[in-house]
Amino acid sequence: MTDGLIVVDKPAGWTSHDVVARVRRVCGTRRVGHAGTLDPMATGVLVLGVGRATRLLGYLAAHDKDYEATIRLGATTTTDDAEGEVVAERDAGAVTDEAIEAGLRGLTGDLLQVPSAVSAIKVDGVRAYQRVRSGENVELAARPVRVERLDLLAHRGCDLDVRVTCSTGTYVRALARDLGDALGVGAHLRALRRTRVGRFGIEAARPLADVESDPVVVPLAEAVGQAFPTLQVSEQEAVRIAHGQRLALEVTVSPSGVFAPDGSVVALVADRDGVAQPICVFR
């Protein structure tokens, strides 16, 4: 298979690892990974790397993301989403749009967010959700996240449709939980669809069935050009970067992709004290 990216529209009921395993079989290689987990109940953009493009995934995962979500007011669950057991219910019929808008504004900007205990975060080397399922009481530390946008699209009875733009590491189900707390009625995440990871939007995502029948891979050079700002260098400079040397190039956004005159991708570079430092070399 060509080294590159596959953008999948993940179906509900599949874990991100399930999708990776299926694409490994389709592509005939174990060098497949993903750029950011989606919960089984969630659908939408899941960016996969194949071959050498797996080295891009950590940088892609750091990009901001868009989601469309449905929040159910009036019920809290053990997992902060619809897959958990309901632990408390309250009447949410009197909650006004004005109160909802105020609650959403309070969850916008730079936040310290406590992730859901049922998450993939490791505690002393063990996933938090594994500790919870074994009966432990897990309390995770708050982490800094940024919610750029949290807009109310519709208010349908006890359900709120919202659109979210947020930094990596943000848990949308934790936003649902915290909104319910702010409104005094409790809440959980009812549905979630990721519509963008960095520069890859839902329009670029293909259903998993289509990927299985025709695994089109965005080639490595094209993928880097789509996902990151680009810099053009001479062949001599490309050789130096390929050998890990710094160059006196202005890198306004880190990381940026460096391309040789023949159009091949050489490396990702980052700004280090005003010079370009190779951080991921492909040549």
Catalogue the active-site residues.
39
Single-letter amino acid code for the residue at 262: D
Query: Which distant-in-sequence residues (6+ apart) come within 8 Å of 17 by Cβ?
Result: none
- Decide: 1 and 29 in contact? Cβ < 8 Å: yes
Mapped onto helix, strand or coil, the DSSP state of residue 227 is helix
- Alpha helices in 52-96, H assignment, sequence order: 57-61
- Decide: 149 and 163 in contact? Cβ < 8 Å: yes
User: Sign of the CA dihedral 182, 186, 190, 192?
Assistant: positive
> How far apart are the C-alpha atoms of 279 and 73, rounded to whole Å?
45
- Decide: 11 and 40 in contact? Cβ < 8 Å: no
Tokens 């089984």: give the residue: 40
CA-nearest of 270, 16, 23 to 120 is 16
Tokens 């699209």: give the residue: 153
